[in-house]
Structure 1
Amino acid sequence: MATGGKGEERRQVHTGPGSIPDHPVGSRFVRDLNRALERQDKELVRHLLQHRVQHVDAVIELSNDDWMKDPSAQLDPLILLGLWSLEYKQELTSPLCIAASHGYTDCLQYLLQRGARPNMVVGTKSALHSACENAHADCAEVLLEYGANPRLLTEEGLTSLHLCDTAQSFRCAKLLLKYRADVNQLSEEDQETPLHMVAKHGLHNHIHLYLRYGATVNILNIHQESPLASACASAWRPEEQEDYLQVCKVLITYGANVNSVDHEKRSPLHKASKNASLQLVQLLLRHNADVNAIDYNGCSPLANVIQTAPFKGELNPHCTVQTLLNYGSRKVWPAAFPKVLKTCAGSPKTIEVLFNSYQQIHVTEEWVEAVPEELFQLHRPFYESLFALASSPRSLQHLCRFAARKLFDKQCHTLIPRLPIPKCLRGYLLLEPESLVY
């Protein structure tokens, strides 16, 4: 069915909280509908929506937890005193939204043919929002053919394209763009584009699609954060690292600025380092990210990964520390090393990599006190080797390593792998941990 056919309605109609529903939550119709939806009884839902609603644009109250209307409600004294209040949630919807959100395409078509308005916003969203949020592409296509507006905002200020935030929603996104959705339209609250949204969710196919349709790769949200920075900040789950790596590769290929900073002067490298996302850190550094960038809190990317190392054990944070140092990151101020010990006591490999980046650093009694007894016992061989250096200098082998690294400076990551020496010695020069120090 072509756009502009029977039933086309581009006018935006809002029915928000406080409206009197045609079918209130206590009605028999709503009770029957809720039971049918819970059982996923498609035939009964279709029958109710097609034959028992008052009209095709009826407002249906699916739920209402308004405590003021419940005479048996036990109210907190603070509420009665007026010190704080409760909000209630009234869930309003329409036959069109119900059909779209559950993927009932034939029922949707039936309602539209009988004059249901595709741009009616009931509660918080329209039927097109509901279809895209639930990745029902067939429903989205029917709604768009009947004139649904792809640029219409939800009550939260999001477009249908913003709601395409799962891998399954890719076809919905393609349809929206085909029907002239604005790929650079901003959300109302955070001023984010759809590119920000899919970058946050690690959706590289969506990223490709939006950039082909003219998405602005370096656009900033209200926090001055770019899509690349959004992706780096969101890459904290170990199982999703590869998805975010692909997203960032595409964004960089299209010209994303690896050194853009947000309102707190945090770069994508700061955010990737905080997440101990090794592959992202390596990608950004290969594209000339500033390894020594400082944010408003005075933190470098190295400081960020040190701070979160205790919570990122499964991501091997010492590898991120090692990479940053091999790209020329400035070391931690020696006097602050006891703080590092206290923070990273449960990650001895992180401490080892950092410790081995110095020529000589004085081990004191304060260091011993900084490591909790239970962690000392858990990693006893390493800590005994570390604290033994309080009364002895570093080995000649280590001093040679430091001299070589000082010579190579910021090119350690490039030059050391090229040296015609055994692999184990290259690893030693690159600060590969050995679980002991000497």
Structure 2
Amino acid sequence: MKTNNQDEETPLHTAAHFGLPELVAFYVEHGALVDSVNAHMETPLAVATYWALRFKEQEYSREHHLICRMLLDYEAEVNARDDDFKTPLHKAAWNCDHVLMHMMLEAGAEANLMDIGGCAAIQYVLKVTSVRPAAQPEICYQLLLNHGAARIYPPQFHKVRLCPREPSGELGHQRGDGDSKGGLV
């Protein structure tokens, strides 16, 4: 059936976009495909992840976090790529949302997948550190590093210093095995 829906979003995409967990459950329980894609090749998981940050308020949405958890429990593909080769982890990193990043990494998201521009999730966190005042980027970095992301080396630390607060140091430690680059573990 043809509609005027130019983004080709399913009702599940729409419920994920607007943070309506009851409708997400309803649609999935009545046969909606959790990995259906819209015109941009985004799955409902990618849509919910992107909209989990209320940009104007710089707050994270519990409803969107719940929807992401539900979709992962319904076995949504955590490494699905959109038309720019971004995964839901890229979108969570763009939002600097450590809760979703942890959820996705634990569900098997690959930390080193690159988008069409050659950026992995850790580069997204680096790009947005200074403009996400509600975020805790040090947690995001540590999660990615703990799941095999490429390390951040001293030339990139100037971006980390733009962070609204000092990294606590609780999450990582310097390697004691002669790592002269001082990478976090």
Q: Same fold (TM over 0.5)?
A: yes
Does the 8 A contact of 1:241 with 1:277 survive in 2? Answer: no
Report the Cα distance in structure 1 between the residues aligned to 2:168 and 2:59, rounded to whole angstroms: 26
Report the Cα distance in structure 2 between the residues aligned to 1:240 and 1:296, rounded to whole angstroms: 26
State the percentage of identical aligned residues.
30
3-state SS of 2:176 partner = helix
Name the structure 2 match of 1:194: 11
Higher gyration radius (CA): 1
Root-mean-square deviation (CA, aligned residues, Å) is 2.7
Does the 8 A contact of 2:93 with 2:121 survive in 1? Answer: yes
- Whether 1:345 aligns to 2:161 is yes
TM superposition shift of 1:298: 0.8
Does the 8 A contact of 2:50 with 2:95 survive in 1? Answer: yes
- Whether 1:301 aligns to 2:121 is yes
Name the structure 2 match of 1:230: 47
Does the 8 A contact of 2:96 with 2:125 survive in 1? Answer: yes
- Map residues 280-291 of structure 1 onto 2, 5 A cutoff: 280-291=100-111
Q: Show CA shifts across 1:40-63 (max 9, x none).
A: xxxxxxxxxxxxxxxxxxxxxxxx
Q: Show CA shifts across 1:11-58 (max 9, x none).
A: xxxxxxxxxxxxxxxxxxxxxxxxxxxxxxxxxxxxxxxxxxxxxxxx
Structure number with higher relative contact order (C-alpha < 8 Å, ≥ 6 residues apart): 2
- Whether 1:400 aligns to 2:176 is yes
TM superposition shift of 1:350: 5.5
Q: What TM-score results when the alignment is normalised by the length of structure 1?
A: 0.37
Name the structure 2 match of 1:221: 38
Match of 2:75 among 213, 235, 255: 255
Report the Cα distance in structure 2 between the residues aligned to 1:350 and 1:402, rounded to whole angstroms: 23
Report the Cα distance in structure 1 between the residues aligned to 2:167 and 2:86, rounded to whole angstroms: 23
- Map residues 355-366 of structure 1 onto 2, 5 A cutoff: none
3-state SS of 1:249 partner = helix
Does the 8 A contact of 2:59 with 2:134 survive in 1? Answer: no
Does the 8 A contact of 1:322 with 1:353 survive in 2? Answer: no
Does the 8 A contact of 2:46 with 2:87 survive in 1? Answer: yes
**Higher share of residues assigned helix:** 1
Report the Cα distance in structure 2 between the residues aligned to 1:222 and 1:312, rounded to whole angstroms: 28
- Whether 1:205 aligns to 2:22 is yes
Match of 1:323 among 119, 143, 147: 143
Report the Cα distance in structure 1 between the residues aligned to 2:162 and 2:81, rounded to whole angstroms: 31
The amino acid that maps onto 1:268 is P
